[in-house]
Amino acid sequence: MTYKKFTVYSNHTIDSSINTVLENAINLVEKSELYDCNYGYNVILCNNSFYNKIDDKLLGVGRTARATLNNVIVKVRIDPENNLAFPTFHKACQENLAEVIAHEMIHCLQANKYGILKFNPFKPPEFWKLEGYPEYISKQKKLSGKDYSFTNDIDRYVTLESKATDIWVSSEEGGCEVPDYYYKGKLMIEFLIDIRHLSYDQILKDPTSENYVYREMIKWNDSTKEAKN
């Protein structure tokens, strides 16, 4: 079926509840400087499909979703009516489906703007820049909510990271855990865009090291908290 700039493919019957999910995904992606209202996406819902089995063999089991060219590939079971995706790889949990799709749409737009040679699975930009930005954009609704505090989120990450025994740290809702560099990357991109007022384009071009940016963010967080006390 089609909706706006989306063509949705599925082996299972889907109804129009997917439209609301896609609308919510657009509302998030619109906030990105990479957004292009003329860019069209294929959304491929391929849980339990033959394609999924081949994809798992080629690129490894475990991903919830993936992006190639203008294809947003959702590999796990979904419930569009309740806006949920159900990853099972690391542990069974629930994710916000619109956020999953928005994250992958940003990957499409990264390749659209910067070219597949700069954004491909074999030679991507640094991980925190590659994954931090889609995370930052797909969480925009939460980040602009009145209950959200950036300094608390940094503190939360630092605590989780110090206690973690492996790379997995808990994300906010649904019992999902994410590799810590997704969370760290989201915070660092948020710091550079919202506090330092850089664009994503400037961030990509900036040679400053990951460690330096992280230390700057922690310093900023400490001084902000001190100023409040």
What is the binding site for Zn ion (CB under 5 A)?
A: 131
Residue 99 vs 131, nearer CB to Zn ion:
131
- Residue pair 109/29 in contact (Cβ under 8 Å)? The answer is yes
Residue 131 vs 177, nearer CB to Zn ion:
131
Q: CA 137, 103, 176: angle at the middle one, nearest 5?
A: 100
In the bound complex, what is the minimum distance in angstroms from residue 229's beta carbon to Zn ion?
Answer: 37
Dist CA 33 CA 30 (whole Å): 8
Residue 50 vs 122, nearer CB to Zn ion:
122
In the bound complex, what is the minimum distance in angstroms from residue 121's beta carbon to Zn ion?
Answer: 11
- Residue pair 157/45 in contact (Cβ under 8 Å)? The answer is no
In the bound complex, what is the minimum distance in angstroms from residue 227's beta carbon to Zn ion?
Answer: 34
Residue 86 vs 127, nearer CB to Zn ion:
127
In the bound complex, what is the minimum distance in angstroms from residue 95's beta carbon to Zn ion?
Answer: 13
Half-sphere exposure of 94 (CA within 13 A, CB side): 8
Nearest to 97 by CA among 44, 24, 181, 34: 24
Six token digits for residue 130? 């590659």
